[in-house]
């Protein structure tokens, strides 16, 4: 199933597309909504105290800024802001990143893009926080309240607040684009779980498929049928759970390049831009 590959396991995990589409989400733990509602309320009450500094000579079509703003638990988030120099600006974009981190700005035609670095990574690095996946994904995992991914989610909410403070005219036209994060370190979490099985009670509050049920805004998702890094069953559990209008752009492979990959990625980008215009 899937393309030829060098791995000693099946990156399709024995699933064909029909079986992937049948995967359900886990039950929502008691107190889930109260926990995340309280976290969201707390982050909205924090003034972002934005600072930005222009960076010259990076891209001729965009004004580029280093940006910092306040977030959850007193953390100061760093990232980049890019603003098109010409043409209409129709959208605002918060650009998340995966566990590879983020070393440079993100750009999108016709959109102001705020690309925050997750706490611990690159422009949000701090000496007391791990900046690589295997340790980052375990930081604070013993506690629902203290798990580092709580702060990482809050940082994205804080980024949205900061962008709209700078460009209030983009209210109602704000989008989020993201890739894998916790899914890129499954081995570390599984190893911890084998030693500490009670961690499942914490992880239940951080399952993306559980959160997907509560997403009411339109979503374009691109789950893969074959992926040696992020298991497709997990991707599809999320994609199948969206509670609002959504569309799936099915990828034959994820984190694995084939001869068709460039054309597929180009088609996905075209669909993303069309999606923005439609929604």
Give the CATH architecture of domain 29-206: 3-Layer(aba) Sandwich (3.40)
Question: What pLDDT is recorded for position 187?
Answer: 84
Q: pTM, whole model, 2 decimals?
A: 0.94
The arithmetic mean of pLDDT across residues 37-50, rounded, is: 97
Residue 183, pLDDT > 70, answer no
Cα–Cα dist 102/262, whole Å = 22
Q: Where are the domains of the chain?
A: 1-26+217-279, 29-206
185: pLDDT confidence band, cut at 50, 70 and 90?
A: confident
Q: How confident is the model at residue 120 (pLDDT cuts 50, 70, 90)?
A: very high
223, 253 in Cβ contact below 8 A? no
> 126-179, pLDDT tens digit by residue?
999 999 999 999 999 999 999 999 999 999 999 999 999 999 999 999 999 988
Q: CA torsion sign, 94 to 95 to 98 to 100?
A: negative
23 pLDDT higher than 90 = yes
**Residue 229: predicted pLDDT:** 87
CA distance 166 to 164: 5
28 vs 133: CA distance, rounded Å? 26
Return the DSSP state at 29.
Answer: P
- Per-residue pLDDT tens digits for 207-242: 999 999 999 999 999 999 999 988 999 999 999 999
Q: What is the pLDDT of residue 18?
A: 98
Give 49-115 as a DSSP string.
--EEEEE-SS-TTEEEEEEEEE-GGG-EEEEEEEEESSS---EEEEE---TT---S----TTEEEEE
Please, are residues 203 and 196 in contact by the beta-carbon 8 Å criterion?
A: no
14 phi-psi bin (left φ>0, alpha ψ -120 to 50, beta other) = left
User: CA-CA distance, 165 to 4, in Å (whole number)?
Assistant: 49
Section 71-75 average pLDDT: 96
The whole-number pLDDT of residue 181 equals 79
Residue 137: the pLDDT is: 94
């Amino acid at each position: 199933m899937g393309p030829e590959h060098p791995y000693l396991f099946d990156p399709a995990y024995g699933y064909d597309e029909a079986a992937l589409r049948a995967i359900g989400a886990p039950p929502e733990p008691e107190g889930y909504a109260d926990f995340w509602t309280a976290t969201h309320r707390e982050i909205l009450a924090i003034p972002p105290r934005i600072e930005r500094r222009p960076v010259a000579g990076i891209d001729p079509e965009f004004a580029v800024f280093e940006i910092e703003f306040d977030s959850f638990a007193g953390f100061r988030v760093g990232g980049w802001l890019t603003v098109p120099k010409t043409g209409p600006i129709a959208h605002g974009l918060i650009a998340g990143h995966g566990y590879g981190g983020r070393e440079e700005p993100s750009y999108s035609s016709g959109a102001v893009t705020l690309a925050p670095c997750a706490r611990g990574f690159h422009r949000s690095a701090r000496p007391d926080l791990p900046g690589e996946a295997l340790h980052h994904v375990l930081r604070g995992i013993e506690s629902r309240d203290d798990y580092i991914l709580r702060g990482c989610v809050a940082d994205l909410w804080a980024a949205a607040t900061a962008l709209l403070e700078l460009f209030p005219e983009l209210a109602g036209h704000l989008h989020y684009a993201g890739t894998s994060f916790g899914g890129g370190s499954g081995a570390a979490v599984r190893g911890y779980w084998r030693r500490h099985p009670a961690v499942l009670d914490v992880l239940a509050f951080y399952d993306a498929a559980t959160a997907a049920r509560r997403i009411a805004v339109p979503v374009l998702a691109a789950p893969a049928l074959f992926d040696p890094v992020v298991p497709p069953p997990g991707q599809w559990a999320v994609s199948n759970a969206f509670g609002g209008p959504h569309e799936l752009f099915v990828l034959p492979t994820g984190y694995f390049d084939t001869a068709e990959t460039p054309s597929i990625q180009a088609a996905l980008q075209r669909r993303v831009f069309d999606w923005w215009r439609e929604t």
